[in-house]
Amino acid sequence: MSKNEKTFSRDTIVAQATPFGHSGVALVRLSGQGSVKIVEKLTGGSSLKNRVSTFSKILSPNNDVIDRALITFFRAPASYTGENVVEITPHGNPAIVENIIETICTYGGRIADPGEFTKRAFINGKLDLVQVEAVAALINSKSKEAALAQQKIAAGALSKKINEIKDLLVSTLALVENEIDISEELMGEQTIASVKTNLIKTKDLIGGLLETYRLGKMLFEGLDVIIVGKTNVGKSTLFNALVKKDVSIVNQEPGTTRNLIESRVLIDGAVIRVVDTAGVRKTKNPVEKEGLERAKMRAKKADLILHLIDDPAKAVTIKKTKKKLIILTKSDLRKNLDEKNNIIHISAKTGLGLGGLLNKIKRSLGITSLSTDTTYLSTLRQKRALSLSGKPLERAISSVGVDPVDLSTLAFDIRESLNQIDSILGKTTADEILNTIFTSFCVGK
């Protein structure tokens, strides 16, 4: 632990851990060496027992009764932060909570920074960085499926997989460095075989985790589904039907939708951002032109494009791509509804074909593969570091196939891969990345 971290731990921090507002009860949390003494002053000398709730008066510096509350003490290191933690549960009146926190600050506490409780848990080895990110994501989960998946990660499921990769790299590096100490230049055939086997297994484990990122992104961050097409083909009507509420204005006047209109919808636990766009047409209106330009930019980044058209003859001429569904609208006005050339027939107005379209959207996005039993990569930071760890690993695998093996270069590449794995867990992560992660938390966590 560095000098700065020791200074950090001597402070006693306090914050409200429940949302601001009126409620039956609230929760005020303290962490630090002075938390027990501060609470003894706050209660007029009440004795706190480890992991036992005590009912006590909460007194002001003038000995006025602020409230009566349950107080629970968690002795270090068996607490969330690894320090002495005290949780006070008063009535949920903002005035009462504020008075308690002000009194605690009078006795030597200070208001916690955003994420400071979890940061202390990280510094004290109670959580690694993967678990820290899961705590933040759990608080902000948009579906029960996402919350269940983040609970698994917070409990260490993803960390276990990443540590398995790390352990393989460490044992492989030990083999190589032992050969350097013994032979300096040459590596025995048996050792070469063991090193190669370990490196290939590590590569497969990394590849398997990277494959989970797209589904993890869908579950935790959401995917973009953008609706495009010419004016008056039914984009806004379909948008309203998909999000199940009247958000986008439906009108026969061309150019009604000029800006991007977005709404979130949950589909089997996945967060889907449905985006309605300006209808494609020639226009001199600068506002409408800007709307069209924004639609093009958003379509390039979209995970799935719903290209709407109301002319059967022109539908077959649209260029097909993996991330585009071609949808023939206003099908309630036609008799021939054969789905040729993968063209989907719908009527957003009557609901015709919407069930089939929803199933096509699910299959195209991979929503049918989602499972809360799977452990997913949950952040872009994790994916990038894991991808970067694979590059020196590839070099190491290639170098093992060369005779004689350059042991120093091989060891260097394995260390490079290991450093990236350590950065995922927070062992070698830059301070600016850590600060960004922790400041995204609420104050009481």
What digits encode the pLDDT tens for the residues 416-435?
999 999 999 988 766 777 77
Query: For 221-369, which CATH superfamily applies?
Result: P-loop containing nucleotide triphosphate hydrolases (3.40.50.300)
Give the phi and the psi of residue 105 in degrees, each rounded to 5. -65, -35
Q: What is the pLDDT of residue 289?
A: 65
CATH 3.40.50.300 domain locations along the chain: 221-369
CATH 3.30.1360.120 domain locations along the chain: 3-127
More confident residue, 106 or 367: 106
Write out the CATH class of domain 144-212+376-425: mainly alpha
Per-residue b or e along 273-284, where b marks 16 or more CB atoms closer than 10 Å to that residue's CB: bbbbbbbeeebe
What digits encode the pLDDT tens for the residues 146-200?
888 899 999 999 999 999 999 999 999 998 888 887 765 566 778 888 999 999 9
Q: Which of 330, 337, 327 is nearest to 361 (CA)?
A: 327
pTM surpassing 0.85?
A: no
Question: Across the strands, what pairs with 327?
Answer: 308, 344
Q: What is the pLDDT of residue 316?
A: 75
CATH 1.20.120.430 domain locations along the chain: 144-212+376-425
Inter-residue long-range contacts of 150-153, CB under 8 Å, 24+ positions, other chains counted: 150/220, 150/378, 152/372, 152/375, 153/375, 153/376, 153/378
What digits encode the pLDDT tens for the residues 31-48?
999 999 999 999 999 889
Q: From CA 326, how far away is CA 341, in angstroms rounded?
A: 9
Selected from 3.40.640.10, 1.25.40.10, 3.30.1360.120, 3.30.1240.10, the CATH number assigned to the domain covering 3-127 reads 3.30.1360.120
Q: From CA 439, how far away is CA 417, in angstroms rounded?
A: 28
Question: Across the strands, what pairs with 375?
Answer: none
